[in-house]
Structure 1
């Protein structure tokens, strides 16, 4: 009986001692949504369009100086083209907000949650994240660079996975020069 008591006590001491040395120092750093920037670029047979989308909120998680996680919410109601002016800009912005594209009436936000972060060099990380657009979630992988209180990254997204099929040659025949390519680019410049 005495032996079992000593063994139990020793197990507790080892367990508490080990946990004291394995605790994580996770620190969540909120992204400054006013100074951070998300830009998009979409491509079609006859050219491209580009613009911005506002971050609603976001944070990056660090263990010491190592990135370990992050999550973001994007305000899809803010999607706007920057390469057009006047009526052409209004028409494209309205179309992007319609159900043909991002359906902001039903889906006013999109989100991203990091699921895996792997160092990929000095200040660089390979990030796998769950991206949710129009209520559909799929994994994306991209590189994110972190320098001091700034982070930059770019991700290529296949819009058809999120039920954004307007003008897609993968779903519609005979579009000719009206074809819009399935993939578009997002570039993020974050301050935190």
Structure 2
């Protein structure tokens, strides 16, 4: 009789315990590189330049769109400029790729590794409209890695996930010190404006 009771009670206990620890379903999304872009704006005291980078990578997210993990790679060779004429545009791009800025020959990629995401319910005027998550991760550039956080709007549908964000990074934190002295004739502000527009497709 005791064996019969144990045979009933133990499986029942295990079933209740497993229900209390239901595993959350996640999906992996891959960046659609042709529909995604990272735009940048660098400003000096009397002028600015704008452009973009390509980006690749994956995100793992829950059913509600909350990011669980992910990695992005940004090839420095993909840098573009939008505001200059062709005659001088290449001069700027070559300079940005040089050791004065991104040092592409030694550090061909910048990378971002997600560490966590938190739901956001505030209304920061500088953030993207509709921001609903605070994303945190490690950003690597010029061989240095530092944590960054930014507000993002994440939306999902049946097969896709979209990430939009507006934020700034201080380039000098990663050792990009060119023209960063405010006492010199050419002073480029440390903060670079970033616009993140990512379209991701669910992996099959």
SS at match of 1:87: helix
Pairwise CA distance, 1:123: 6.4
Partner of 1:167: 179
Residue range with higher mean Cα deviation, 95-104 or 123-132:
123-132
TM-score, structure 1 length as denominator?
A: 0.85
8 Å contact kept, 2:170–2:192: yes
Kept after mapping to 2: 8 A contact 1:123/1:147: no
Superposed structure 1 runs of 4+ greater than 6 Å apart: none
CA apart distance, 1:80 = 1.8
Aligned residues of 1:158 and 1:184 also touching (Cα < 8 A): yes
Cα root mean square deviation, aligned: 2.3
Q: 1:100-131 CA distances to partner (integer Å, 9 max, x unpaired)?
A: 00011111111111112001137610111110
TM-score (norm: length of structure 2)? 0.80
Higher strand share: 1
1:132 to 137, 140, 146: 140
1:86, distance to aligned residue in structure 2 (A): 2.1
Unaligned runs of 5+ residues in structure 1 are: none
Count of aligned pairs: 181
Equivalent residues of 1:53, 1:78 under 8 A apart: yes
